[in-house]
Structure 1
Amino acid sequence: MSDFIQSELQNQVLNIYFNRPDKYNAFVREMALAFQAELDRASEDDNIRAVYVSGRGRAFCAGQDLAEAVDPNGPELSRIVSEHYNPIILKIRRCPKPIVMAVNGVAAGAGANIALAGDVVVAARSASFIQAFSKIGLIPDSGGTYTLPRLIGFGKASALMMLGDRVSADEASALGMIYKVLDDEVFEKESLAIAQTLSQMPTKALALTKKALNKSFSNDLVTQLHLEDELQTQAGNSLDYQEGVKAFLEKRKPEFTGK
C-alpha cells in the first residue's frame, strides 16, 4: 500500500483518502495504482457495502502531478492516461458498491473528472471544480468529455472545458454537476453519514441501479426498458427485496444485507 492513499474500513464503508496534501493530492503513478487497488478491493470484498473518497489537506485532487508528466524517466502521457486514469474511471463505474465522492477542496483536471464519476458527489462550500486542461494545452481526460456534458449540457461543458473557469461548489450544485453542497464545518461528518446511509441500504438493488444508469448512456428506450425488466427481476429475487417488503408490512425498519 502506498502512503499516498490512506484507507480504512469502518462499519462496512471503505474510506479512501488521497494523501499528498503538500502537492494538493496530485496524482503520480504510485498513487494512481494504489487507488486502483483500493477500488478493486471495494468491488471484491463482500464486507464493503459503500465507498467514500476524499482528500487530505486543502484539496480533493489537483489532477496529474506535472513534474512526473514531463520527467524524461517517468511515464509518457499516453501511459498516464491509459494506465492511470482510464482504469480508475472504469473501476469507479463498474464497482457494484455505491461510491460517495466527498470534494473537500479544489478538484482540478483529472481530479475534477474523477470526482464527477462518483455515484453521489458532494462538496464543501469552499470547494471548487476546474477543467484545467486547456490552461496547459491538453484536452479533458478521465472521462470528462463523456460525463460533464451529460451532467450539465453540451454548451456549458464546452465552455467550461475551453475557458477553464473555476466553478464554485454552489455554482456546481446549481448547474446539476453535483448532488449537494455542505457547509465546511460539518462537511466531513455529513458526507461520511451519506456513505454510512448507503451502506445500510439494499446495496444489491443499488448495484443494479448503477448498472442500468451506465447502460442508459448508450441504449435506446426499448433496449433500456428490456434491461429494466431484466434487472428488476434480479432485484425481485434478492433477499433484500424480501426483507424490504416484510419490513414494510410489519411497519418496522428493514435490515438489509446486500444479498
Structure 2
Amino acid sequence: MSEATVLHDRRDGYSVISLNRPDRLNSFNRQQHAELRAALEECATSTEIRAVVLTGQGRGFCAGQDLSDVDDMGGDRPDLGKTLHDNYNPLIRSMRAMPKPIICAVNGVAAGAGANIALAGDIVIAARSARFIQAFAKIALIPDAGGTYWLTHLLGEARAKALALTAQPLSAEDAANWGLIWKAVDDDKLMAEAISLAEGFAAGPTHAYGLTKQAIQAASTNTLDEQLELERRLQREAGMSDDYKEGVKAFLEKRPANYRKA
C-alpha cells in the first residue's frame, strides 16, 4: 500500500487533518484529493466531530497541484477544466458546505491552489513565516480553486489583479492586515492557537455555527432584502433548537452551556 497522503487525527470533539506529502510541499496528486475529501466527508457526517483543523506536514501548507505528476496532469496539453471539475471544485464546495467550522493553520508556503484551499477555510491562521502566492501566472494559468472569488471579495479588484498578475508572495502579516486571513501568529504558536479554537468550537453550539457559515457565505451575492429573509429563516431554525434552549437556560443560571453533540 502507498503511504497515506492525508493524516486524520481524531480527537475529543474535533479532528486535525494534515496534508502529508512534505517532500513535495504537500502538492496535490489524485490520491491526496481522494483522501482529503474522504476525511472531510467523515468530519461532516460524524456526530463526534464538531470542528476541523486543516494544516500541512513539514515546511509548507500546500504548493497546489503537483506538476511533476505526469499521469495526473494528463500530458503536456491537459484538460485542466476537467481537473478542476473532478477534484478542486468538489473539494472547495465540500469545505464551504461543511456544517462545522474549519480552521486552516497555514504553517508555511501556500501557493497556487494550495493558497486558495487555505482561503476556503472559515478561520485562517498563518505562521508569520508563511507566504500566500497566486503562482498561476508563472505557468500561464489563471487563479483557480476559488482564487478569483476569494481575492476579489476579500481584497477588492485592485489588489486581486495585482496579486494574480504579478504572482508576488504575500506575507502572513500583510494577508492579515489586508483582511485576507484572520491573523498571523508566531510560528511556534500556530498549532496551539488552532487547537485552542477547535476545542472551543467542539464545546460550542455546532448547529448555530453551521447556520452562521451559511448566512455569511450567502451575503456576498445576496441583496439586502434577500439576506434579511435568509437571516429570518435561519434564525427561526436556530431559535427552535435544543441548543438555543440550553444556551438561554445556562445564561440565566450563570453557568457554562452544555451543548449537545453535532
2:223 aligned to which of 215, 220, 225: 220
2:100 aligned to which of 73, 94, 97: 97
Q: Aligned partners of 1:130 and 1:156: how far apart in 2?
A: 13
Letter in 2 for 1:207: G
2:214 aligned to which of 194, 211, 215: 211
2:122 aligned to which of 116, 119, 129: 119
Letter in 1 for 2:98: C
1:155-207 per-position Cα deviation (integer Å, ceiling 9, x unaligned): 10111011001011101000000001111112111211111111211111010
Q: Secondary structure at the match of 1:66?
A: coil
Partner of 2:58 in structure 1? 57
Letter in 2 for 1:220: T
1:41-97 per-position Cα deviation (integer Å, ceiling 9, x unaligned): 111111110011000000000000001255539974233211110001000000101
Equivalent residue runs for 1:162-241 within 5 Å: 162-241=165-244
Q: Aligned partners of 1:190 and 1:219: how far apart in 2?
A: 33
Let me know the Cα RMSD of the aligned residues: 1.7
Q: Secondary structure at the match of 2:247?
A: helix
| Pair 1:139-2:137 in alignment | no
Equivalent residue runs for 1:50-89 within 5 Å: 50-68=51-69, 70=73, 72=75, 76-89=79-92
Unaligned 5+ segments in structure 1 are none
In the superposition, the TM-score normalised over structure 2's length comes to 0.95
Q: Aligned partners of 2:75 and 2:261: how far apart in 1?
A: 47
Once the two structures are overlaid, the 10-residue window that deviates more, 27-36 or 1-10, is: 1-10
Letter in 2 for 1:124: A
Q: Secondary structure at the match of 1:122?
A: strand
Q: Aligned partners of 2:260 and 2:77: how far apart in 1?
A: 45
8 Å contact from structure 1 (residues 102, 122) kept in 2 = yes
8 Å contact from structure 1 (residues 2, 30) kept in 2 = no
Letter in 2 for 1:208: L
8 Å contact from structure 2 (residues 22, 60) kept in 1 = yes
Letter in 1 for 2:12: N
Q: Report sequence identity in percent.
A: 46
Letter in 1 for 2:233: E
Q: Secondary structure at the match of 1:67?
A: coil
Q: Secondary structure at the match of 1:123?
A: strand
Q: Aligned partners of 1:73 and 1:107: how far apart in 2?
A: 24
8 Å contact from structure 2 (residues 48, 261) kept in 1 = no
Q: Aligned partners of 2:79 and 2:195: how far apart in 1?
A: 36
Q: Secondary structure at the match of 1:121?
A: strand
8 Å contact from structure 1 (residues 104, 124) kept in 2 = yes
8 Å contact from structure 1 (residues 116, 148) kept in 2 = no
| Pair 1:255-2:258 in alignment | yes
- Shift of the 32–2 alpha-carbon distance from structure 1 to 2, 3 Å rule, reads farther
1:130-158 per-position Cα deviation (integer Å, ceiling 9, x unaligned): 00000110000001111121111111011
In the superposition, the TM-score normalised over structure 1's length comes to 0.96
Partner of 2:49 in structure 1? 48
8 Å contact from structure 2 (residues 126, 183) kept in 1 = yes
Unaligned 5+ segments in structure 2 are none
Q: Aligned partners of 1:155 and 1:75: how far apart in 2?
A: 31
